[in-house]
Amino acid sequence: MTNSHIDSLSRVLGQTFGLYVQTHAYHWNVEGPEFRQLHALFEEQYQNLWNALDPIAERIRAIGAYAPGSLSELVGLAGEEPARVNSAAEMMDRLIAAHEALASALREAIVVAQKAGDEPSAGMLTDRLEWHEQQLWMMKASRK
């Protein structure tokens, strides 16, 4: 497989890890009138993100590369660390932006995987993209 293919999968892994940490922190710290709803939503999201990490890393291994294996590697691939926020509305806005960024990375990784003839990776990434798009729809609908 090409380096660009491995790099794109590694970026998806790192961004998924970063979004997992961000979402889990919001789950711990959310307050306000929508606490119960958002606390539950954030928990559903961080659990899904956590469960996505292993299949992505294992896919990197399946195509013959080593998955990022240190905290510094994952943090480096995660992108810019979001500033601390305290309001539920800011948390939702930041999560929407982070899901949009990850969806964009997934779209790019799907194209790279398809060009490499790696349909299993393309399928896995498409499934991840579908989940992120559903989360975006629900979060954006709740912000209206």
Rounded to 10 deg, the angle between the 88-115 and 35-62 helix axes is 20
**Global pTM value:** 0.94
* CA–CA distance, 1 with 100 (Å, rounded to integer): 27
Domain that holds residue 102: 3-142
- Cα three-residue angle 116-113-70, rounded to 5 degrees: 115
| Contact between 50 and 20 (Cβ < 8 Å) | yes
Structurally, how many domains does the chain consist of?
1
The 10s digit of each residue's pLDDT in 123-136 is 999 999 999 999 99
The 10s digit of each residue's pLDDT in 88-138 is 999 999 999 999 999 999 999 999 999 999 999 999 999 999 999 999 999
Residue 118: which CATH number? 1.20.1260.10
Amino acid present at 53: L
